[in-house]
Structure 1
Amino acid sequence: MDLMQFFDMILHVDKTLGTLLAQYGTYVYIVLFLIVFCETGLVLLFFFPGDTLLFIAGAFCATGQMSYPLLMALLIIAAITGNTLNYYIGQAVGHRVFTHNYRWINKDALQKTHDFFEKHGGKTIILARFVPVVRTFAPFVAGVSEMTHARFQMYNVSGAVLWVASLVTAGLFFGNIPIVRDHLTEIVLVGVSAAIVPLAIGGLYKFGRRVMSR
């Protein structure tokens, strides 16, 4: 297998994980660790698989081909350290990211994440875990916005545990049900919407009370 074929398998890991397991055995744990680390840690690789990777890996845990505890531990560490690297890169680049034309940054994705961050604040670090592309840019924007390291890590660790645990566990129990597997993205987005709506209602309620008290 040449490098391009291997890269194609990585991009479509939700369909090729079984083949990777057959060919590389336990080395697949390293591959999955690196995919999650790179997708969350490098804005250049925002297109790497995330949600589907966790879900399908959980499904292979259900068949006994992968270890659920080991997979959980490795992917949580990958998600935390990946976000941390991205945060530091954002800090290093700073606010000039919005004024300079960096060819390695997707401006549309950056602006989308910045708007998301402005609306939801620190909670974006948690919520963004479940939104493709935004997930990769959120820690970068947090670094650019000079969020304190302690506050960032609080949201970072919480979001990583919630993201990995929920999707891997969902894959463990439901990954071999075709209708769930085929509509994973829609199911995840509905779940995120369900989390955001109460926050939005709470914000509107507080805003309304301030207006009425004037």
Structure 2
Amino acid sequence: MSARSTRRPQMTLDDFEALERGAPETVTLEFIAGKLEVKPVPDGDHGAIFMWLLRQCMQQRPELDLHPEQGLVVEHYRAGRARPDGVLAPVAHFAGQGEWADPTGALMVVEVTSHDADTDRHDRWEKRDGYAAVDIPVYLLIDRQSCTVAVHSDPSGGSYRESPSFPYGETVKIPDPVGITLRTEALKDYAA
């Protein structure tokens, strides 16, 4: 058992949800690996990257929606709460599920890194592990610091077995069940 899984959480899940409900609209809170996380407010380049990806998904898979900031119940024993930058799922999949949806049926989660000190731990490790733990088929990480696109896929036993990374400019094939191809040349315009 890893050190992360044996640590005591900072608070209970009920306490987190009460705190999150009372947070101002300008603050996005997550509960990852038993810790309260404050998600940075996205900048203009972050938003432009998300819109680029949204257009790619809509053009290639119009029967799917890329939901921005959809809250998901994640991690072992459903003890975490995350708001990925995007969740790819069938049209209207999350209708009626409320603020923290069951991740079952989500095909892909997306994170675009922010320029903050916690990005390495938060997006590259803890969230990745949380998404794998609930068997989300694909975790797409658009990493603005390293100018790469990482495609984590084939979850098994709480981790992703495949994790190739591609520099901006390469063509990136997202495996099934997503089945789209990203031409990432445009991402160079938003390099850090």
What's the TM-score, normalizing by structure 2? 0.30
Larger Cα Rg: Structure 1 or Structure 2?
A: 1
- State the TM-score, normalizing by the size of structure 1: 0.28
Q: Greater helix percent: which structure?
A: 1
